[in-house]
A and B are shown apart, each in its own frame.
Chain A
Amino acid sequence: MTEFFQMGGYGAYVWSAYALAGVLMVVVFVLSWASWRRNEKTLAALKAVQEQSRNRRAA
């Protein structure tokens, strides 16, 4: 097991590469997801406001 983590003495390089890849991919995923949810929320709010003003004018 320790042998696996040591990677023949190159553990620091090998695991840094894998860790960096993991972190960057998670960050890309989370930021993309968050911006989608944020935009959908704004869109829904905008639609609600415009719907209201339209109804008020109709009444």
Chain B
Amino acid sequence: MHRFANPTRFMKVADRLFPFVSAGFLALLAWGLYGALLASPEDYQQGSTVRIMYIHVPSAYLAVMIYGVLAACSASVLIWKHPLADLIARASAPVGLVFTVLCLATGSLWGKPMWGTWWDWDARMTSVLILFFLYLGYIALLNAFDDPARGSKPAAILALVGVVNLPVIKFSVDWWNTLHQPASLLRFDGPAMPASMLQPLLVMMAAFTFFYLMVLVIRLRAEFAAARIRTLRITGASE
């Protein structure tokens, strides 16, 4: 495991996996879209708006999952000054931000026809909005310095402090009386959803995960090249 912590070796493996991850994403997306739009039934209460779920829930899951990645990487940046962890965090943050936006926007598009409002300051929505601002703050701190390496530490501290928000997001629907419905997937008594809806939802979640992995490899390549440009500029200037 430790040998993959070497950035160059890690990228070699990532490059080799890239075509499979990309193909996997496209296949899962096609399968998931077929299930979400055609094969799955309408909801007896929500009609066709339930199809928004197949975008909304995977976005929410990815937004929270990527924040978890960010926090884990930030911890190893602070403890071990791990260069690979720093690059993964840098490459991931904007992707997490985009999926948080997508989660909020599709939530609005679902809320308007079903609840009669685009937005409500209930605990679930507010905590996801806080997640959005955590991502924004993290990215702003990373880019606040001329020397990109100096932004890593303050940004990592912010990311770790923000971890308290993750359980708040998850349990907000239990702790408070929210307009948002309670959990349907991760429950003690199993998913509260028929298999005909659960299956396409899980496929879409897998597709979104593969999308993240695919984009992560591309963004890591960009970050690696940028890091090498910086070292070349420094060594070149001192010659």
Interface residues of A (CB under 8 A from B): 4, 7-11, 13-14, 16-18, 20-21, 24-25, 27-29, 32-33, 35-36, 38-40, 42-43, 46-47, 49-50, 53
Q: Is B152 an interface residue (CB 8 A)?
A: no
25 A-B pairs (CB sep. < 8 Å): A7-B47, A7-B49, A8-B42, A8-B47, A10-B48, A10-B49, A13-B112, A17-B56, A17-B110, A20-B105, A20-B109, A21-B55, A21-B59, A21-B106, A24-B98, A28-B215, A29-B215, A32-B215, A33-B218, A36-B219, A39-B226, A43-B228, A43-B232, A49-B236, A50-B239
Contact B110 A24 (CB under 8 A): no
Asked if residues B106 and A20 are in contact (CB atoms below 8 Å), the reply is yes
**Residue B222 interfacial (CB < 8 Å):** yes
Contact between B48 and A32, CB atoms less than 8 A apart: no
A36–B113 touching, CB < 8 Å: no
* A32 and B233 form a contact (CB under 8 A): no
**Nearest B-chain residue to A16, judged by Cβ:** B109
Contact B95 A28 (CB under 8 A): yes
Residues of chain B having any CB pair with chain A under 8 Å: 37-38, 42, 47-49, 51-52, 55-56, 59, 94-95, 98, 101-102, 105-106, 109-110, 112-113, 211, 214-215, 218-219, 221-222, 225-226, 228-229, 232-233, 236, 239
How far apart are the CA atoms of A33 and B236 in the complex, in Å? 27
A29-B215, A43-B228, A53-B239 known; A21+B47 contact, CB < 8 A = no
Chain A residues with CB under 8 Å of B218's CB are 29, 32-33, 36
Once A29-B215, A35-B222, A40-B225 are accepted as A-B contacts, the answer to whether A47 and B232 lie under 8 Å apart by CB is: yes
Give Cα distance in the complex from A51 to B9, angstroms: 25
Q: A14, A18, A53: which has the most chain B beta carbons within 10 Å?
A: A14
Q: How far is the CA of A47 from the CA of B219 in the complex (A)?
A: 21
The minimal Cβ–Cβ distance linking B144 to chain A, given in whole angstroms, is 19
